[in-house]
C-alpha cells in the first residue's frame, strides 16, 4: 500500500502539514459504539488515519473549534492520541483538550465536552473488550451534546472511508501528554487537562457526599473493582479521597494497557473475584465494579448481584433521594432488550418509559428534549441527563447515596422493590464466535417465522406478538429497523434475539429471557431455574444447537 507525500504546506523550517496518499479499507463501518477491531488491524498502515480523516471530512464547521480527546489507556492508546493530535492540527481544529497521560473515561469525555461547550470529542476505547497487544482497540466520535454520533454521522463516516484517497497530518514532534499544561501543534493549541477533576466536580453536584461520607465514618464497608481499567483513578479520587473510604476500598485501581489480564466487563462471570468476596461470610456491605472505559457498572449486595434492569428500576423509583434529582424525573428510557421492570416504575410515577434500540446514541434526543431523565441498558449501562453517555461510577455513587439516605442494604432495597413491583426474572445468554454467515442465517429464519407465531402456544406460554423491532425517534423522526427479534407472550414473558454490534471476531448471538413474577413467595428462585421453560423455547425456536453446534451459551449473565 503506497504512502507518498503529494503536497506540503511549509509552516517553518522543521514543521509542515502533509497530505499523504492512502488506499481505502472496506471494513471501517462503525458498530453500536464506534469502530472496534483487533489492535493489529488498527496498526496497519493508514488504517487509523483513514478513519480519523473520514471523521474530519464529514464534520461541517469544525475548523477553529475545540474538541476533546482521550481514552481508556489500553494498548495503542498513546500512539493513537499522537496521530490524532497531529491530524487535528492539519485539519484546522483550533484546540484539543486531552486527558493527562491520554486518560479520559468515556463518561468523563462527555462531561468535559458539555462543560466546555466543545464541538465534539474522540473517544479511544473498545469499552469492555479485552486489551493488550493481541486485544481490541476502538474509536468513536461524540457530538457537541456529549453523546455518541447518531447514525447519520456514522454512516457518512463509513461512506467517506470507502472512498478516501488521502489524509492530512502534521510532521510536528509528539506532545508531552504526561504533564498538565498547554502547547501547540501548528496553529492548534493542545491543553493537557486533569483527567478526573471535572468529572469529580460534577458528581459532587449530583449526590449527597456528606451523607455518604458519614456512612463510611460509621463503619460502612465496600469494595470497588476497577478491573485494572480507566475507572481506577476516578474511583480512588472520589470514593477514597473525597468520600473517605479506607485505602484499599478500590481494587485493581491502576489502569494497565492489558487490564492486567482481566476481561474488563463487569458481570458475575468476569468479575469473579468481587463476586467471591461478596459471597464470603465476612463480605463487605456493598460491592461494585466498572468496565474498561468506566461507562458500565455492576452492583452487588451480599450474595446478590443486582441485574442491570433491576438497578435502573430501583434508582428510578428512589431518584429523589439524590440532590441532583430531588425534583423527580421526567421519564425513563431503556433499550428494547432490557427488562420491563423500569416500565412498571414509570407507570407508578406517571412518567413515560421509552423503548429504544440498543446503543446509547438512541437516548440522546430524549435527554436533550427533557423527555427522559434516567436511561439504562441490560448490558450493565445506566446513566442520566447529566451527560450523554452511560456512567459506571455515577451508578455506584447513586447506590451509595440511596443506602446512606435510607440506612438500608442493597439486599433489603432489592427485596422491598420486588415486593412492591414484582420481580422480572431476567438473563442474557451469549453465544460467541459464531460464523457470521450462520448467525445471519439464524436471524433470517427467525424473521421468516414471525408472521406465523401470534397465538401459538409455546410450552406453557401463548404468543401475544412477534416482530423485528423497529424504532422511530420521537424527536427527529429517524427510523432504525431490524433491531432484534421479539417474542412477547400473553403473561408478559419475553424472548429477544439479536446479534451484538460490539465484538471483533465472528458474530455473537444474544438471547434475552424475561419472566414476570408478582408472587413474593416466588421471588427467590435461582434465575436460570425460573427461566428454564423460556430457555428451552428459545433454543427450540431458533435451532441454536443445530445452526451453531453450540450446546451451551459461552457466557450467561
pLDDT at residue number 262? 87
Q: Is the pLDDT of residue 13 over 50?
A: no
d(Cα 99, Cα 302) in Å, to the nearest integer? 36
Give the largest Cα separation in the chain, rounded.
79
Q: Write the pLDDT tens digit of every residue in 435-489.
A: 999 999 999 999 999 999 999 999 999 999 999 999 999 999 999 999 999 999 9
Closest to 148 measured CA to CA, from 347, 363, 431, 329: 363
Domain boundary among 166, 194, 222: 194
**Which residue's entry shows cell 450523554?**
388
pLDDT band at 164 (very low <50, low <70, confident <90, very high): very high
pLDDT at residue number 15? 67
Q: Write the pLDDT tens digit of every residue in 201-227.
A: 999 999 999 999 999 999 999 999 999
Burial of 452 per CB tally in 10 Å (0-12, 13-18, 19+)? exposed
pLDDT band at 503 (very low <50, low <70, confident <90, very high): low
Q: Write the pLDDT tens digit of every residue in 337-365.
A: 999 999 999 999 999 999 999 989 899 99
Q: What is the mean pLDDT of residues 93-101?
A: 98
Domain boundary among 162, 194, 226: 194
| 222 and 148 housed in the same domain | no
| 431 and 444 housed in the same domain | yes
| 244 and 146 housed in the same domain | no
406's CB contacts (< 8 A; 6+ apart) are: 318, 321, 413
| 121 and 223 housed in the same domain | no
d(Cα 481, Cα 473) in Å, to the nearest integer? 11
Q: Which residue has the higher pLDDT, 517 or 15?
A: 517
| 294 and 253 housed in the same domain | yes
Q: Write the pLDDT tens digit of every residue in 367-390.
A: 999 999 999 999 999 999 999 999
**How many structural domains compose the chain?**
3
| 24 and 82 housed in the same domain | yes
Whole-model pTM? Answer: 0.93
Q: Write the pLDDT tens digit of every residue in 245-272.
A: 999 999 999 999 999 998 999 999 899 9
Cβ distance 486 to 496 under 8 Å?
yes
pLDDT at residue number 32? 78
| 252 and 155 housed in the same domain | no
Q: Which residue has the higher pLDDT, 11 or 407?
A: 407
Domain that holds residue 79: 5-194
Which range has the worst mean pLDDT, 98-102, 215-219, 325-329, 548-552?
548-552
d(Cα 111, Cα 30) in Å, to the nearest integer? 23
Q: How far is CA 372 from CA 100, 325, 350, 356, 385, in A?
A: 33, 12, 13, 12, 8
Q: Which three cell numbers stand for residue 541?
A: 425456536
Q: Is the pLDDT of residue 143 over 50?
A: yes
| 399 and 439 housed in the same domain | no
**Which residue's entry shows cell 407472550?**
489
d(Cα 262, Cα 47) in Å, to the nearest integer? 27
| 417 and 427 housed in the same domain | no
pLDDT at residue number 500? 83
| 183 and 202 housed in the same domain | no
> Which CATH number fits the domain that encloses residue 483?
3.30.310.50
Domain boundary among 194, 218, 244: 194
Q: What is the mean pLDDT of residues 311-324?
A: 98
> Which CATH number fits the domain that encloses residue 363?
3.40.120.10
d(Cα 124, Cα 8) in Å, to the nearest integer? 29
| 362 and 493 housed in the same domain | no
**Active-site annotation, residues:** 127
| 73 and 184 housed in the same domain | yes
Amino acid at each position: 500500500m503506497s504512502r507518498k507525500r503529494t503536497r506540503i504546506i511549509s509552516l517553518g523550517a522543521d514543521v509542515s502539514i502533509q497530505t499523504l496518499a492512502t488506499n481505502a479499507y472496506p471494513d471501517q463501518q462503525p458498530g453500536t459504539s464506534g469502530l472496534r477491531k483487533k489492535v493489529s488491524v488498527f496498526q496497519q498502515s493508514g488504517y487509523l488515519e483513514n478513519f480519523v480523516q473520514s471523521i474530519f471530512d464529514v464534520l461541517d464547521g469544525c475548523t477553529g473549534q475545540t474538541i476533546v480527546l482521550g481514552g481508556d489507556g489500553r494498548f495503542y492508546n498513546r500512539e493513537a492520541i499522537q496521530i490524532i493530535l497531529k491530524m487535528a492540527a492539519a485539519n484546522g481544529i483550533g484546540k484539543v483538550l486531552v486527558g493527562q497521560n491520554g486518560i479520559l473515561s468515556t463518561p468523563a469525555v462527555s462531561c468535559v465536552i458539555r462543560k466546555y461547550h466543545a464541538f465534539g470529542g474522540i473517544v479511544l476505547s473498545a469499552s469492555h473488550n479485552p486489551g493488550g497487544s493481541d486485544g481490541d482497540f476502538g474509536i468513536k466520535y461524540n457530538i457537541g451534546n456529549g453523546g455518541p454520533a447518531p447514525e447519520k454521522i456514522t454512516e457518512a463516516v463509513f461512506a467517506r472511508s470507502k472512498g478516501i484517497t488521502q489524509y492530512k497530518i502534521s510532521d510536528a514532534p509528539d506532545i508531552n501528554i504526561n504533564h498538565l499544561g498547554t502547547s501547540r501543534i501548528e496553529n492548534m493549541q493542545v491543553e493537557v487537562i486533569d483527567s478526573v477533576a471535572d468529572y469529580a466536580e460534577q458528581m459532587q453536584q449530583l449526590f449527597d457526599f456528606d451523607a455518604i461520607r458519614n456512612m463510611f465514618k460509621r463503619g460502612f464497608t465496600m469494595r470497588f473493582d476497577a478491573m485494572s481499567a480507566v475507572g481506577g483513578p476516578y474511583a480512588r479520587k472520589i470514593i477514597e479521597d473525597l468520600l473517605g473510604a479506607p485505602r484499599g476500598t478500590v481494587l485493581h485501581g491502576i489502569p494497565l494497557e492489558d487490564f492486567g489480564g482481566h476481561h474488563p466487563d463487569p458481570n458475575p462471570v468476569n468479575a469473579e473475584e468481587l463476586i467471591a468476596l461478596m459471597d464470603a461470610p465476612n463480605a463487605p456491605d456493598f460491592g461494585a465494579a466498572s468496565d474498561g472505559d468506566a461507562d458500565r457498572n455492576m452492583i452487588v449486595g451480599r450474595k446478590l448481584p443486582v441485574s442491570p434492569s433491576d438497578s435502573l428500576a430501583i434508582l428510578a423509583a428512589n431518584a429523589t433521594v439524590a440532590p441532583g434529582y430531588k425534583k423527580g424525573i421526567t421519564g425513563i428510557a431503556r433499550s428494547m432488550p432490557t427488562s420491563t421492570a423500569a416500565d412498571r416504575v414509570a407507570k407508578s410515577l406517571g412518567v413515560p418509559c421509552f423503548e429504544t434500540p440498543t446503543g446509547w446514541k438512541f437516548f440522546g434526543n430524549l435527554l436533550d428534549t427533557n423527555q427522559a431523565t434516567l436511561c439504562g441498558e441490560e448490558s450493565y449501562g445506566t446513566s442520566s441527563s447529566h451527560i450523554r453517555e452511560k456512567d459506571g461510577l455515577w451508578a455506584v455513587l447513586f447506590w451509595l447515596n440511596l443506602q446512606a439516605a435510607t440506612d438500608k442494604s442493597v439486599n433489603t432495597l432489592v427485596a422491598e422493590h420486588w415486593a412492591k413491583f414484582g420481580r422480572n426474572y431476567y438473563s442474557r445468554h451469549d453465544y460467541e464466535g459464531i460464523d457470521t454467515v450462520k448467525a445471519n442465517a439464524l436471524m433470517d429464519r427467525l424473521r421468516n417465522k414471525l408472521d406465523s407465531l401470534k397465538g401459538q402456544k409455546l410450552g406453557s406460554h401463548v404468543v401475544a406478538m412477534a416482530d423485528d423491532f423497529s424504532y422511530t425517534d420521537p424527536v427527529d423522526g429517524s427510523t432504525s429497523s431490524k433491531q432484534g427479534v421479539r417474542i412477547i407472550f400473553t403473561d408478559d414473558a419475553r424472548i429477544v434475539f439479536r446479534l451484538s454490534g460490539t465484538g471483533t471476531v465472528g458474530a455473537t448471538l444474544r438471547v434475552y429471557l424475561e419472566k414476570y413474577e408478582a408472587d413474593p413467595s416466588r421471588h427467590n428462585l435461582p434465575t436460570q431455574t425460573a427461566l428454564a421453560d423460556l430457555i428451552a423455547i428459545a433454543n427450540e425456536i431458533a435451532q441454536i444447537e443445530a445452526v451453531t453446534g453450540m450446546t451451551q451459551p459461552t457466557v450467561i449473565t
